[in-house]
Amino acid sequence: MANAARIYRQDEQNELARQADASLLHYGTSWYPEVIVHASGQTVTTASGHSMLDWTSGQMSCLIGHGHPEIVQTLREHAQSLDHLFSGMLSPPVIRLANRLTSLTPPGLDKAFFLSTGGESNEAAIRLAKLYTGKFEIVGLASSWHGMTGNALGAQYHAGRAGYGPSAVGNFALPTPNAYRSIFRHPDGSYDWRTELDYGFGMIDRQSCGSLAAVIMEPILSSGGMLVVPPGYIKAMKEHCEKRGMLLIIDEAQTGIGRAGDMFAFQHFAEDEGVVPDILTLSKTLGNGLPLSAVVTSNTIAEVTKEKGFLFYTTHVNDPLPAAVGDKVLEIVVRDNLVSRSRSLGENFQERLHQLMDRYGCIGDVRGRGLMAGVEIVANRETKESAPELGNAIGKRLTELGVWAQLATIASFGGGFRIAPPLTTTDEELERGLKAFEEAFASTEGTMPLYGSRDDAGEHGAVQRCC
């Protein structure tokens, strides 16, 4: 991958930037100031020749790295022989992907179809739930992100609701399960998520007109700040859904296919054992950065909605080219034991980030699982006041040191880093990236070191407190 041909020159930065300003419409985030001209493996390279480890895996998508040779070969073969078909036609890649995917999901997730984006798959899942239940009210979590289309956006509360008029009718929000910031606490100060969840449903019951169709949720709220839902939360959510005749939709756009150390993140906790969502949505990681998403549901829901005439007919539904890539991604992940690799490498990854928190007072919290982590930057650990400007300064220093970890500059991210290296990350690449993190915090003003001097740090950033 390192020797892949480069098709753009590294001396066009100024002209490319001028053309971008002249012709590109902004869409909600500040652009990184340099144009990217090459991506290979875990590395992206700018027009000025600066290379960085890509620790966001593109848009949290390139699960097995940029330009993976088997993915490139699959694209080449299918682009030449089987690229796009009439949406009512089937092809071997679609059938094989459906079979491989449903062989990896538990019983109750039996049938799948394939679309282009995560927003599209969540749109389809919500539409499926409404048709199956005959109801229309949808519940989401208050820091959720599910996409930019109508129903998906209506169930999304992280950002982007103001200024566009009313969202879809019948949308409600549950409190964000944020163990770091929630006001729901036991007498000992620990997080009381169950009371919070029960309270949230009590409020929804008072607002509902009696037509609750589904809950849609992420097992780790990535855009919300890498918030891991507590052990037992998914089971409790499923119980609330069943009590009200609702379906449970789990959105694993970012957590699925091994990213968080399990094939699917909803399977992680023993306290949630046996819980299967009624509908599972996948995207991002399934296509390794190509536009591919999936909706997976039970035989029962598939049969009932077929009889009712479920319609989600798009230009690129079940397209063979992206399906062939998704099938190859699943083959590689299983064949190369990348789920267990994510889990084992992730243990070191998470431990080292916690060591960093012990060394710098500006880190209020570290959370995540597997090769998926959040680092929240605060101005004061006692008040938990966010420090977005400091977060941006650390992020800028990181890019100078050769690690890209600042996914977006949207204000609602609050200075928190969301980090997701590819599952194919080597031990050496992980060590190089972690050392860059240490250097970025050590060399950025305002990070509040908790040690006497930089020489006190010890090997690999081991904690040696001065007081």
User: Taking CA 312 as the corner, what is the angle to CA 306 and CA 316, rounded to the nearest 5 degrees?
Assistant: 125
Rg, Å, the chain Cα set: 22
Element (H, E) at 323: helix 320-335
Contact in structure between 328 and 71 (CB atoms under 8 Å):
yes
The residue behind tokens 């009712």 is: 308
- CA–CA separation, 297 and 277 (whole Å): 8
Q: How far apart are CA 240 and CA 299, in angstroms?
A: 22
Q: Residue 288: which region, alpha, beta or left (left: phi > 0; alpha: psi -120 to 50)? A: left
* Cα gap 196→316, rounded to integer Å: 41
Q: In sequence order, which ranges of 336-415 are alpha helices (DSSP H)?
A: 338-359, 388-400
CA dihedral 10→12→18→21, nearest 10 degrees, is: -30
Which amino acid makes up residue 341? R
**Token duo for residue 303:** 């049969």
Alpha helices in 36-170 (DSSP H): 57-60, 69-81, 92-104, 118-133, 150-154
| Residue 110, token pair as written in the block | 């039996």
Is the C-alpha dihedral spanning 425, 97, 103, 58 positive or negative? positive
Residues annotated as catalytic are 145, 218, 251, 254, 284, 418
The answer to whether residues 437 and 384 touch, using CB atoms and an 8 Å cutoff, is no
Return d(Cα 463, Cα 465) in angstroms, integer.
6
Q: What is the dihedral of CA 55, 61, 62, 63, to 10 degrees?
A: 90
Q: Residue 95's Cα: distance from chain center in Å?
A: 26
